[in-house]
Structure 1
Amino acid sequence: MSTDVLTPAPPETPLRRLGTAGVFLLALAATVLVAAVHVTQGTSSVGALDLLALPFGGSDEAARVLLASRLPRLLAGACVGVALGVAGSLLQTIARNPMAAPDTLAVSSGAYLAVAGAAAFGLSLPIPVSGGLALIGGLAAAALVLALSAGGRSGTTRLILAGSATALALSSLTNLLMILFEQETTGLFAWGSGSLVQSDLNAVTQLGPVIVVALVAAMLAGPRLDILGLGDDTATVLGVNVRRLRLWLTLLAVLLAAAAVTIAGPIGFVGLCAPVIVRLLPKSIPGLHRNRTLLPLSGLAGVLVVLGSDIALRAALGAQAGVEVPPGTVTTVLGAAVMIWLARRYRDAGPTRQPPAVRTGGSRSQAAFLTIVGVFAVLVVGALVVGMLAGDRWLLTGDVVNWLQGRSGRALTFVLDQRWPRVAAALLAGAALAVAGAAVQAVCRNPLAEPGVLGVTAGAGVGAILLLTLVPLAGVWAMSAAAGTGALLAFGLVYGLSWRGGLSSDRLVLIGVAVQAACTAITVLIIVLSDPWNSAKALTWLSGSTYGRVPVQLIPVALMLLLAIPLLAWLRRDLDLLSLDEDTPRILGVPLEPVRLGALAAAVLLTSTAVSAVGVVGFVGLVAPHAARALVGAHHTRVLPVAALLGALLVSLADTLGRTVIAPAQVPAGLVTALIGTPYFVWLLWRARAHNG
């Protein structure tokens, strides 16, 4: 009997009956419909009927509005959607990873830094030159992330962590430029989340052809891309030069992303959403998932995402929101939802679950441990002294002694009364973030994790910024409560979504990164809606700063340290076992979920109080615990105190540097810690790559 008789035919779905051409026509029709709705929206009174009357001799006002405002915005959205959709599809195919995208590979952040750097130094560049700068920045970022994550094939978690850390560092540099050159970069804060506002058609007419040529080039390479999807070895046997093909396609993807950033700024997660939407179409449709079809369909899906988000934004918040609110905030929230959906379908990737090769001091004697603690305690005291002396006005130790004895003059007393709460806030917040990071890394069994990648820091930032906006004169306890509520809600969301018959550490990290992105977008939305021109205040808060601290603001973080450190010390043996693997703690009777929940709850509360004290400070929860393990071994009895000292030292030195390097101007402490922490993180990822590769 023929085997064909035994093979069931694919089900006849409506989309299958349509075929590839039918799906294309359907996508085009949807795009035309969305574009027609989009062009009817705006701040003027010109409506759909006025635009429909234009071919029959309508009003001059309607023609002017269409040509000067609505058509440029529509075409910008279409160009950006196509560029990001195709770029995301290319990157996902190259990395064979559904979470690869211009955002997760930090391409958009690198391009944005390049464009912001030109603006900060007062350079008014022609659009092609600006696009070239964006291309260089995007290429550098993508090259770094792909190198650190072995091209994205060593595991989704490492790719996302490498991309998010690189993006954080590049964003910190961008924020630093905007703080230092506030006048020159006015308006860049909102543009940093993407803006479709266009004064003319210059950007679209100059970069549109580049996007079309790049799309055609990518489609011509479609058959070889299909072969690449079979694996490097198979592709090589079939005559494909894998290295060269991957290099050229990465260049095309970054060129597309750079063009999108030059036109409208970094509009988040379109490159992640669009290809995923297309890949959800039934595989039974002949030829639909081949790259020659997949790439243009991803471009159309990108247009639908960008224009649909813009329509939804203006429908919900009014026409003026289209000018003030970046549509990238909507696409980022949508992209975060898609990323969460992907993470919930994700299965652990093997090598990413294993801690990277790290030199640890596991066999250190008690005397060596006490010596290390003593040395760092002395360094922390030294940082405290330097912090009290340094600033826009340098003091002498004798001045501080006189102040402590109440014998200083009025001017000196004023300076030190303002300075000591800042120094203390940096020390306490640094210790809190480091201890929180140690707890998170133990639970996730991943030394690359930190409270920030679990969405906790960004959630606390949303709570605090919301309170600052609604109640500008809110007290310290209200601020701590708001930050704590935001952190707990973000943590509850991440923990709940990560739970699928158990807690996967990789899933926890991936969902945490998605929630972090969504919370950051919501924070930008709140700031832009409430005070769009005061970006310096927002950037200072989001970058972490001790400016204007008062003694009462230190109480919540100090109390939380007094409560959380004993709890984590009591759980120290369970945390040691939890760091090993999933099975050992169960065999030895460790109540896995209560221990995880207790440790993470302590980390959340420590992080939220630290955020309420100094704003959003990154990398401390990553660097300090990891360095502590390298110095004294993996036992949490030793890691916790050393990490606390290292965290206090790092934030204190960052704050002091930020207050003195360009005094009287100040660099927020969070930017300094990001710039210090990034090289360490890059080194750590490189070692992990070498170990697992």
Structure 2
Amino acid sequence: MATLTEPRPPVVAVRRRGRLALLGGGLAALLLLGSAVHLTQGTADLGALDVLRLVSGAGTGDTAAVVVESRLPRLLAALVVGGALGVAGAVLQSVSRNSLASPDTLAVNAGAHLAVVAVAAFGVSLPLLGATGIAFAGGLAAAVFVLALAGTGGTGILRLVLAGTAIALALISVTQVLLLLYAQETRGLFAWGEGSLDQNGLGGVRTLGPVAGVALAVLLGMARRLDLIHVGDDHARTLGVHIGRTRFAAVGLAVLLAATAVTLAGPIGFVGLAAPAVARLLASVVPGLHRHAALIPCSAALGAVLLLGADVLLRAIIGPQRALEVPTGVVTTILGALFLVVLARTARITTATAAPPSAGARGGVSATRYRVTLGALAVAVVAVAVGAVLLGDAKLLLGDVVNWVSGQAGPIVTGVLDTRVPRVAAALLAGAALALGGALTQAVARNPLAEPGMIGVVGGAGLGAVAVITTVSGVGFWTLTGSAGLGAAVAMAVVFAAAARGGFTSERLVLIGFGVHAAAQALVTLLITLSDPWNETKALTWLGGSTYGRTFPHLVPMVLALLLVAPVLFRMRRELDLLSLDDETPRVLGVPVARTRLLLLSCAVLLTGAAVAGIGVLTFVGLVAPHAARAIVGSRHARLLPAAALLGAILVGMADTAGRTLIAPGQLPAGLMTAIIGAPYFVWLLYRHRSKAARGR
């Protein structure tokens, strides 16, 4: 009872408020300092003294014109966009109770970007608010879809990242199709797709700034309800909060903020993840910051500081003139990816997303049924190959192929088949290589939803190849192959070295791989935007996974990789079965876990690097083919690997044929088709795993 009269609690409360006020003052000082530095940067010869004279009213008309029409709009855009993304990320994390929710991981940016590009591609001209509405619709649809798959219980961290990544990959693939097919209508939207703060006057900020302000004010009014929902649905419901209505309103307002940011500056990566994550980390030393009345404005200020700092850093390092060509979102994505890697290494990650690859599948089928199934798959591969050879911009008959093989075909048929047959073979070999690489990755990571593309290996291979394409004139195929293989190896080394700390869990592996993949994609964008337009088109086509221009020498790396890896996999099929269970079982049975895992992952990197060098970037093949094979023939790798290779060949062969046929004589890259085909299957997998997890509880 004496504690009621002690003066200490008020002192503690004052100290707590003091820390919060100190944090607010520090962020305000950073914003003022960053804004002052930002206004002194630019291509015009205006320094700090010129800006000070303008503020004091002694500046010239030319100084005012430069500052008001060029520098001030960029500064205000950075503040509005950074603040909007910071708040959007904080709210999405709260309503999903997931520390990795953000406009990036919920595919909000990808959905908004696709909506804006689609409107531009089909020649629809909209005012700024209309474009914001379109971006809002695309972003909201993506966010609701991802949240529906991942759940809002706070345990599906990995599921949310996988679902968001998969949906974003599919949306980005459709966006790339539109950018390729409607190059004139969408000119300039590729660089904008990474996030650029360039503004044409103050009109955009004047129009969209109030929209962001209203959304922020409404969210602040919902602060107490958000506090209760973040704690738990039952507690909030007991205190009279309408859970569904509040959550949907909060998600809608967060997506509106993200759509406003996308419309104003394009998709800016990782600000919406890093800013609220930093705010929540500070909450451990700043009492009261966990309440949304303080968390929301703090996240807004941190988002503005991060984006403003990235823009200041970019222009300080490469100069104002060069910075005009580089999207600011490249810098934020790289910094945010590093932050995610550090967070994934240090955070305690728990998930109920998926069982090991062998746990949820049938133990196997009878030997007779397996042989029949494998024979049917082999026949299907032959049928796909024959159909791919006959179909395309020029339709052929089997007799034409027979004449070509015997050397009796005419010049037209010979010309068509001389270019088409290597393309078909490249698609089949790449599909088989990627499927095997995916099966190895899933076994080692013990997660049936992992694949080389989602752990950074494909992104690293793409970065290595694009670096050579955009910097070396007339690069040869073998140089390109070596660069892709080196990029894949470096990405794998980074991912697995970072994931080794903390027990090498599959969750940590995938999260770090996601960060490396995002950083690699940002660097690819940087290289392409700094390159000439010819290299941009060439790199975009290659990134889409195209068999265009492939000849028989181009098949050599994939053939060698398959020939080298096949005996290793046959020899280690038992170790693969054991590794897919846990670490203790193979260790007890005498399997050197670390060395075996490294060897198998090296095989996966070799296969993936060879496939990427052969036909470019393909997504979802390494996920869909092994999982489908597991459902058909069971989980034993002696049976799984051959079936997965055949299914991968079928998938890529069909995708390449569709890409060459649907809009003939135009062509769609095979990688874009595999993403569009594979995404629905992946969504179904996520839904099934969530249903199993729910039944298990």
Residue aligning to 1:23: 23
Change (3 A) 1:152 1:513: farther
Contact 1:165/1:678 (<8 A) preserved:
yes
- How big is each residue's C-alpha offset from its partner over 1:98-126, in whole Å with a ceiling of 9 and x where there is no partner? 11100000011001110010000011101
Residue of structure 1 equivalent to 2:215: 214
In structure 2, how many angstroms separate the alpha carbons of the residues matched to 1:10 and 1:319?
51
Instruction: Calculate the TM-score normalised by the size of structure 1.
Output: 0.96
Distance in 1 (alpha carbons) for counterparts of 2:3 and 2:545: 67
Output aligned runs, 1:152-551, within 5 Å: 153-281=154-282, 283-355=284-356, 360-500=361-501, 502-531=503-532, 535-551=536-552
Q: Deviations over 1:194-233 (max 9, x none)?
A: 0111112222111111111111111111112122222111
Q: CA 1:382/1:472 → structure 2, altered by over 3 Å: closer, same or farther?
A: farther
- In structure 2, the residue matched to 1:87 is 88
Q: CA deviation at 1:292?
A: 0.6
> What is the CA–CA distance in structure 1 between the aligned matches of 2:606 and 2:519, rounded to whole Å?
20
Contact 2:50 2:63 in 1 (8 A): yes
In 2: Cα distance, 1:673 partner to 1:3 partner: 67
Amino acid at match of 1:193: E
Q: Is the 8 A contact 2:157 2:351 kept in 1?
A: no
8 Å Cα contact 1:356-1:687 kept in structure 2: no
Q: Which string of whole-angstrom CA distances, capped at 9 and with x for unpartnered residues, describes residues 127-147 of structure 1?
A: 111111111101110011001
Distance 2:632 2:360 in 1: 8
Distance 1:422 1:384 in 2: 10
Cα distance per residue 1:435-465 (max 9 Å; x no partner): 0000000111111100011100000001111
Matching of residues 45-84 of structure 1 within 5 Å: 45-54=45-54, 55-84=56-85
Of the structure 1 ranges 309-318 and 166-175, higher mean CA displacement relative to structure 2 is found in: 309-318
- Percent identical pairs in the alignment equals 54
- Shifted more, 203-212 versus 430-439: the winner is 203-212
Structure 1 residue 323, shift from structure 2 partner: 1.7
| Counterpart Cα distance in 2 of 1:9 and 1:638 | 68
Query: Residue 138 of structure 1 corresponds to which residue in structure 2?
Result: 139
**How much does 1:177 deviate?**
0.6
Kindly provide the amino acid, as one letter, of the partner of residue 691 in structure 1. K
- Matched residue SS, 2:353: helix
1:172-202: per-residue Cα shift (whole Å, max 9, x none)?
Answer: 0101111110100000100000011111222
**Is the 1:15–1:285 contact (alpha carbons within 8 Å) kept by the matching residues of 2?**
no
Conserved? CA contact 1:146–1:152, under 8 Å: no
1:639 corresponding residue in structure 2: 640
Is the alpha carbon distance of 1:565 and 1:152 closer, same or farther for their aligned partners in structure 2, counting shifts above 3 Å?
farther
1:497 positional shift:
0.4
Structure 1 unaligned spans of 5+ = none
CA contact (8 A) 2:620 2:679 kept: yes
Indicate the larger mover: 216-225 or 278-287: 278-287
Per-residue CA shift, 1:494-546, capped at 9, x if unaligned?
00000125311110011001100000001111111122575432221111111
Structure 1 position 653 matched with structure 2 position 654: yes
Assess if the C-alpha contact under 8 Å between 1:357 and 1:688 holds in 2: no
Partners of 2:375 and 2:594 lie apart in 1 by: 35
Q: Is the 8 A contact 2:78 2:304 kept in 1?
A: yes
**Contact 2:97-2:152 within 8 A present in 1 as well:** no
The corresponding residue for 1:602 is 603
Say if 2:68 is the partner of 1:39. Answer: no
Distance 1:96 1:281 in 2: 18
For structure 1, which segment, 429-438 or 303-312, has the greater mean C-alpha deviation from structure 2 after superposition? 303-312
Give the C-alpha shift of residue 584 in structure 1. 2.3
AA at the equivalent of 1:272: L
CA distance in 2, matches of 1:89, 1:423: 48
Confirm or deny: 8 A CA contact 2:110 2:171 kept in the other structure. Answer: yes
Report whether the alignment pairs 1:668 with 2:666.
Answer: no
1:114 match: 115
Q: TM-score, normalised by structure 2?
A: 0.96
Q: CA deviation at 1:314?
A: 1.3
Amino acid at match of 1:232: D
Counterpart of 1:630 in structure 2 is: 631
Q: Is the 8 A contact 2:354 2:689 kept in 1?
A: no
The letter for the 2-side match of 1:685 is L
C-alpha distance in 2 between matches for 1:21 and 1:502: 40
Letter in 2 for 1:339: L
Give SS of 2:530's match. helix
2:564 partner amino acid: L
Instruction: Report Cα offsets for 1:345-375 as digits up to 9, x if no partner.
Output: 2334241252489974534111111111111
Which letter maps to 1:300?
A: A
Gaps of 5+ in 2: none
1:152, 1:663 → 2: CA distance? 47
Q: Evaluate the alpha carbon distance shift between residue 404 and residue 329 of structure 1 in structure 2; reply closer, same or farther with a 3 A threshold.
A: same
- Partner Cα separation in structure 2 for residue 504 and residue 495 of structure 1: 10
Work out the number of aligned pairs and report it.
692
Q: How far is the alpha carbon of 1:392 from its aligned partner?
A: 1.2
CA 1:21–1:498: 2 relative to 1, 3 Å:
same
